């Protein structure tokens, strides 16, 4: 784990967030978060309900698209 908000890198502004990391580090962090969200739902850490599905469905779709592209 590393803090992507501090560092000497030129800032990457996303919405109201300012990341101080490389674009590769930011991409890796994004993939890690999306995969963790997907896993917490599919492996039973969260109870599936309508609100949960609305929140986690985009993460699931992104992970599946990513996995399909590397097969």
Q: Is the residue at 6 inside a domain?
A: no
Range of the domain at 34: 23-70
Q: Rounded distance, CA 21 to CA 13, Å? A: 11
d(CA 51, CA 71): 31
What is the pTM assigned to this prediction? Answer: 0.64
Size (the chain), residues: 71
Number of structural domains in the chain:
1
Asked if residue 65 is part of any domain, the answer here is yes
Please indicate, yes or no, if residue 50 is contained in any of the structural domains: yes
Residue 18 falls inside a structural domain: no
Predicted confidence pLDDT, tens digits, the chain (71 residues): 789 999 899 999 988 999 999 999 999 998 888 788 777 767 777 776 787 778 778 877 877 787 788 87
d(CA 53, CA 7): 35
């Amino acid at each position: 784990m590393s803090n992507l908000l501090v560092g000497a890198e030129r800032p990457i502004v996303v919405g109201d967030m300012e990341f101080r990391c490389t674009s590769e580090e930011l991409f890796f962090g994004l993939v890690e978060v999306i995969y963790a969200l997907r896993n917490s739902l599919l492996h039973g850490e969260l109870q599936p309900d309508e609100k949960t599905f609305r929140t986690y469905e985009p993460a699931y779709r992104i992970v599946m698209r990513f996995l399909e592209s590397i097969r």
